[in-house]
Amino acid sequence: MAHDAHAAALPPLKQVAADFGGDKQSFQVPWGKAMMWIFLLSDTFIFTCFLTGYMHVRISTMESWPNPSQVFALHMFGQDIPLILIAIMTFVLITSSGTMALAVNYGYRKDRRNTVLLLCATAALGATFVGMQAFEWTKLIMEGVRPWENPWGAPQFGSSFFMITGFHGCHVTAGVIYLLVTAKRVGSGFYDRKGSYETVEVAGLYWHFVDLVWVFIFAFFYLW
Amino acid sequence: MAYVAIADRDAPIHDPHTFIEKYIWSQDHKVIAIQYSIVAIFVGLVALVLSGLMRLQLGFPDSFHFVDPNQYYQFITMHGMIMVIYLLTALFLGGFGNFLIPLMCGSRDMVFPYMNMLSFWVYLLAVIVLLASFFVQGGPTGAGWTLYPPQAVLPGTPGAGLGIILMLVSLGIFIVAFTMGGLNYVTTVLQARCRGMTLMRMPLSVWGIFVATILGLLAFPALFVSAIMMTLDGTLGTSFFMPALSSMGQAPEHDGGSPLLFQHLFWFFGHPEVYIVALPAFGIVSDLLATHARKNIFGYRMMVWAILAIGGLSFVVWAHHMYVSGMNPYFGFFFATTTLIIAVPTAIKVYNWVLTLWKGDIHLTVPMLFAIGFIFTFVHGGLTGLFLGNVTVDLPLSDTYFVVGHFHMVMGVSPVLVVFGAIYHWYPKLTGRMWDDRLGRIHFWLTFLGTYAIYLPMHYLGILGVPRRYYALGETEFLPQSVHTVNAAITIAALVVAASVVIFLYNMIVSLWRGEKSPPNPWKATTLEWQTPDTPAKHGNWGPRLPEVHRWAYDYSVPGAPDDFIPQNVPVDSRYATGTGHHG
Ligand code: HEM
Ligand SMILES: [Cu+2]
C-alpha cells in the first residue's frame, strides 16, 4: 500500500497521486475549508458566466456602448473626475482584504480581542462598500439609467450593470453578515472552546474571493 | 498526519429521538436519500403521465380532445425538464448519492448533515414551484425543455407569462439545493473516507457519483446565470437574449440581445448534464455487473480514468447541440472532433462491462437483468450519437424523431434501467426486505422490450423526416401512410411500459410489509454498505467502531479463498491473493 514504509521511494508524480488518493483525507485541511474551496470554484463559474455573458451582449448589441469614464464620473471641486467613486470603492474593498488577513493572523494566535476587532473592521469596510454602491445606483437611476434603457446608448449597459454589480453586492452583503456572525462567535469564546480558529480563515477565503471577483468586474466593466 | 473521521470529531453526532427528528427534519443521510427518492419518483410519475398523454395524441391524432396544441407543448416541456433534472439528477445524486457515499466510503454521515437536510427541503420547494406552474394563469411554459429565447418569453408561446418565470425560478432554487447537497457529497468523498479506503479502492458507484457531482457544481452555474438573465428579460424587459423583432404583429421593446448567448450558456450546462445523469449510472452498473457476475470489474483503473476523461471532455463539446444554429465551420469541426473523442473512453467502458461478464458466474437476478439491459440500450443510443455528432449528418436529422429516439435511448431509458436495477439491488439494505422476484422479472421484460418497441421505430420515423415537437402530422406528401401506423404502435408500447411501472411501484410498496426478511448481505457483495452491523443500517451506520478497509471493492471469486467474495473490510490473508495486489 502506497501510504506506508516504501512511500518515500516513489517518483514525484506518483508521490503526489499517493498523497492525494491515499488512505487519509485528500486535503489536509478541515472539512469546512475544503468545502469552501469547492464552493468558490463553483461560484467562480457563476461569475465567469456573468462576465462572458456581459461581454457577449456588449459585442452583439447594435447601439453604441456608453463611455464608462463619463458615466461613472463624479462632479467634484468644480470638475468631472472620471471613475473617482469606483476607485474609492475598490480601495475600500481591497483595504478590507488587508484587515481580513490580519484577523486571520490574530485568529491563529488565539488573540480573541484583536480578531473580533479586525473582523468588525472588515465588516464595516464591506458595509461601506455596499453603501457606496447604493449611492452609485441611486445616482445612475436619477440620471435615467434603467435595466431596460439608458440615455446614452445600448440598453444592455444598464442591464448588465445592475445585474452584475447587484449580484456581487449580494455577495458582499452576505459576506458582511457572515463576518459578523463569525465575530460574534469569536467574541463568545466559541472557538477557544473548540480549540481552533480555523473557521475565521474559512470566512476569510470567502471574503478574499469576493474582493478578487470585484477586481475582475472593475477591470471588465469600468475600465473597458 | 492526524486521521480524521466523523467518529473522531469532538462533538458527538446529533442523535435523533422524536419521530419528527428521525423521519422529517432528519439529518441522517439515509433518510434524506429516501426523502429525495420519494419526491423524485413522484415528479417522475407526473412526467410519465404527461408522456402518456402526448403519446395518445400522437398515436391517435383525431380521437382525443383532452390535449390541444398548446397543452402538447406544455407537456413536452414539463416532461423533458422533469425527467432530466427533477427526476434523474435528483434521484442519482440526492437519492443514490446520499445513500451510497457515506455507506460505501465507511463514513458515519455526510460531513455537514444540517446542510444536507436543507438541500432536500430546498429541492422540495423547487418541485413545488415547478408544479405550481400547472395551476397559474396560462399554465406551465411550453417553450420546450431547452427554453430557447426569444420565443420562451414572448406571447404566443403557452405559459409565456407566469409559466416561464416559475420554471426559471424553480430551476434557480433547484440549483441552490443541488449545490448544498453537492458540496457535501464531494467533500465527504475527499475528506471522510474510513481508514484504508484509498481513492483507488472506492467502488465505481462512488466514483461515478463523485465526478458527476463535480460536473454539476461546474455546469449548473451556466444554467443559473442564464435563468437569471432570462427572468430579467421576462419581467423587467431587459434584452440579454432578445434581439429587435416583431412578435404577433407588434414590436416588443427589445433590442440588441443575443439568443445565441442563451444557447451557449444552456448547452454549456446541458451537455455536462447528460453526464451528470450518465456517470452515476455507469458507476452503479459496473458494481451491479461485478457483483452479480461474481467477477472483479475488468480494468478498474481504466474505468476510473474513463470516468474522469468523460467528465473533463464533456465541457468542450456543448456546441454539437447547435450545429443548426449556424457557426463558423472551424468550430463545427472542433466540436465534432471533441464529440467523437468522447466516444473513446465511453467505448472503453462498454468493452470493460462486457469483459466483466465474460466467463463470469452470471446470476440472472433482477438487478443483473436491468444492468445487462442497460448495456444494450446504451450501446444503441451511443451509436446513433456518433451519427448526430457529425455536422453534415446532424443537419438533416436535427429536430426529427431520430433525435428523439437517440436521446431517449441514451439518457432516458438507459439511466432509468440503472435506476430500476439499483433500486432492486439496494432495496434489501434500505428496508430489510426482499422483493417479489417474479414481478421484478415481469417488470424487466416489459420495460426492456417495451423501450425497444417505442424507440427503435422512432429512428426510422426520423430518417423519413418526421419532425420533432409536432402536435399532429396531418396528411403530407413526403410521409407514407405507414408513419401513422408506426405511431399508433409506438403509443401502445408506451402505454404497456407505463403500466409496467405500476407493477414496479406495487412490488416496491407491498414488499415493505410482505417481502421476506432480507439477510444482511443477500447478494454476497464485497462493498462496505453490505457489511453494516444492522440491516437496515442504523443512524451512524457502523455501531461503535468505523470499518477499516483492506482491499479493493472487487474481490470476487479469488482463487483459494473460502467464499466467492471477500468483503472490503476483511484483512489481507497471505494464503490467497487480492485483486488490489501491488497498488492500492
Ligand atoms: C415511457 C417513457 C417515455 C415516453 C413514452 C416518452 C415520450 C416522449 C415524447 C412523446 C416526447 C415528445 C416528442 C416530441 O413531440 O418531440 C418526449 C420528449 C422528451 N423526453 Fe421523453 N419519454 C419517456 C421517457 C423519458 C425519460 C426517462 C427521459 C429522461 C431523460 C425523457 C426525456 C425527454 C426529453 C428531454 C424530451 C424533449 C422535450 C423537448 O423536446 O423539449 N423522456 N418524450
Ligand atoms: Cu451533448
Report the pLDDT value the prediction gives residue B73, as an integer from 0 to 100: 96
pLDDT of B24 strictly over 90: no
User: What would the pLDDT profile of A153-179 be if each residue is shown by its tens digit?
Assistant: 899 999 999 999 999 999 999 999 999
Atom of ligand 1 nearest to the CA of B498: 1
Task: Give the CATH fold of the A30-223 domain.
Answer: Four Helix Bundle (Hemerythrin (Met), subunit A) (1.20.120)
d(CA B217, CA A43): 9
Report the pLDDT value the prediction gives residue B208, as an integer from 0 to 100: 97
Report the pLDDT value the prediction gives residue B7, as an integer from 0 to 100: 42
pTM of the model: 0.94
pLDDT of B340 strictly over 90: yes
Nearest of B168, B16, B145 to residue B76 by alpha carbon: B145
Q: B400 - beta bridge partners?
A: B467
Mean pLDDT for A47-58 is: 96
Residue B473 near residue B479, CB atoms below 8 Å: yes
Distance B264 CA to ligand 2 centre (A): 12
Lowest mean pLDDT: which of A80-84, B101-105, B266-270, B504-508?
Answer: A80-84
Distance B409 CA to ligand 2 centre (A): 14
Confirm or reject: Cβ of B144 under 6 Å from ligand 1.
yes
pLDDT of A4 strictly over 50: no
Distance A41 CA to ligand 2 centre (A): 23
Q: What confidence category does residue A8 fall into, taking pLDDT thresholds of 50, 70 and 90?
A: low
d(CA B30, CA B554): 24
Lowest mean pLDDT: which of B71-85, B224-238, B529-543?
Answer: B529-543
User: What would the pLDDT profile of B534-554 be if each residue is shown by its tens digit?
Assistant: 888 888 888 888 899 999 999
Per CB-CB distance under 8 Å, the chain A contacts of B225 are 46, 49-50, 53
pLDDT of B4 strictly over 70: no
Confirm or reject: Cβ of B85 under 6 Å from ligand 1.
no
Three-state DSSP class for residue A80: strand
User: What would the pLDDT profile of A137-148 be if each residue is shown by its tens digit?
Assistant: 999 999 999 999
What percent of chain B is modeled with pLDDT above 70? 96
| Domain tally, chain B | 1
How do the domains of chain A map onto residue ranges?
30-223
Contact B226 A49 (CB under 8 A): yes
pLDDT of A3 strictly over 70: no
Report the pLDDT value the prediction gives residue B581, as an integer from 0 to 100: 44
Q: Give the cell for residue A100.
A: 481580513
pLDDT of B3 strictly over 50: no
Contact B221 A46 (CB under 8 A): yes
Three-state secondary structure along A85-104? HHHHHHHHHHHHHHHHHHHH
Report the pLDDT value the prediction gives residue B2, as an integer from 0 to 100: 39
Q: Which residue has the cell 469552501?
A: A36
Q: How far is A156 from chain B (nearest CA, A)?
A: 6
Report the pLDDT value the prediction gives residue B165, as an integer from 0 to 100: 96
Contact A156 B238 (CB under 8 A): yes
Report the pLDDT value the prediction gives residue B148, as an integer from 0 to 100: 95
d(CA B255, CA B234): 14
Confirm or reject: Cβ of B468 under 6 Å from ligand 1.
yes
Check CB contact of A176 with chain B, cutoff 8 Å: no
Residue B548 included in any domain:
no
Residue B391 is part of a domain; what is its CATH number?
1.20.210.10
Lowest mean pLDDT: which of B28-37, B72-81, B500-509, B570-579?
Answer: B570-579
Q: Give the cell for residue A151.
A: 440615455
Q: A75 - beta bridge partners?
A: A80
pLDDT of A9 strictly over 80: no
pLDDT of B481 strictly over 50: yes
Please list the alpha-helical segments (H only) found in B90-203. Answer: 98-105, 113-132, 162-191
Q: What confidence category does residue A202 fall into, taking pLDDT thresholds of 50, 70 and 90?
A: very high
Report the pLDDT value the prediction gives residue B13, as an integer from 0 to 100: 58
Q: Which ligand is nearest to the CA of B43?
A: 1
Q: Which domain holds residue B328?
A: 31-243+257-531
Q: Which ligand is nearest to the CA of B458?
A: 1
Q: List the residue whose alpha carbon is closest to atom 6 of ligand 1.
A: B51
Q: What confidence category does residue B526 fall into, taking pLDDT thresholds of 50, 70 and 90?
A: very high
Write out residues 61-80 of A within 8 Å (CB-CB) of B: 61-63
Planar angle of CA A19, A23, A25, nearest 5 degrees? 70
d(CA A86, CA A72): 8
Q: What confidence category does residue B580 fall into, taking pLDDT thresholds of 50, 70 and 90?
A: low
Residue B356 near residue B295, CB atoms below 8 Å: yes
Nearest of A202, A221, A199, A209 to residue A46 by alpha carbon: A209
Three-state DSSP class for residue A149: strand
Report the pLDDT value the prediction gives residue B25, as an integer from 0 to 100: 87
pLDDT of B523 strictly over 50: yes
Residue B576 included in any domain:
no
Round the average pLDDT of chain A to a whole number and report it: 90
Going by the DSSP 8-state scheme, the letter that residue B257 receives in this structure is -
Q: Within a 10 A sphere around the Cβ of B39, how many other Cβ atoms?
A: 22
* Residue of B178, B190, B276 for testing the chain A interface, max A β-carbons within 10 Å: B190
Mean pLDDT for B442-452 is: 96
Q: What confidence category does residue B63 fall into, taking pLDDT thresholds of 50, 70 and 90?
A: confident
Mean pLDDT for B5-28 is: 67
- CA gyration radius, chain B: 24
Check CB contact of A192 with chain B, cutoff 8 Å: no
Q: What confidence category does residue B584 fall into, taking pLDDT thresholds of 50, 70 and 90?
A: very low
d(CA B71, CA B49): 13
Mean pLDDT for B310-332 is: 93
B273 CB-near residues (< 8 Å, 6+ apart): B84, B85, B89, B219
Burial of A151 (0-12, 13-18, 19+ CB in 10 A): exposed
Report the pLDDT value the prediction gives residue B467, as an integer from 0 to 100: 95
Residue B572 included in any domain:
no
- A-B CB pairs within 8 A amount to 136
Mean pLDDT for B95-118 is: 95
User: What would the pLDDT profile of B233-291 be if each residue is shown by its tens digit?
Assistant: 999 999 999 998 888 888 888 888 999 999 999 999 999 999 999 999 999 999 999 99
pLDDT of B510 strictly over 80: yes
CA dihedral B191, B194, B199, B201 (to 10 degrees): -170
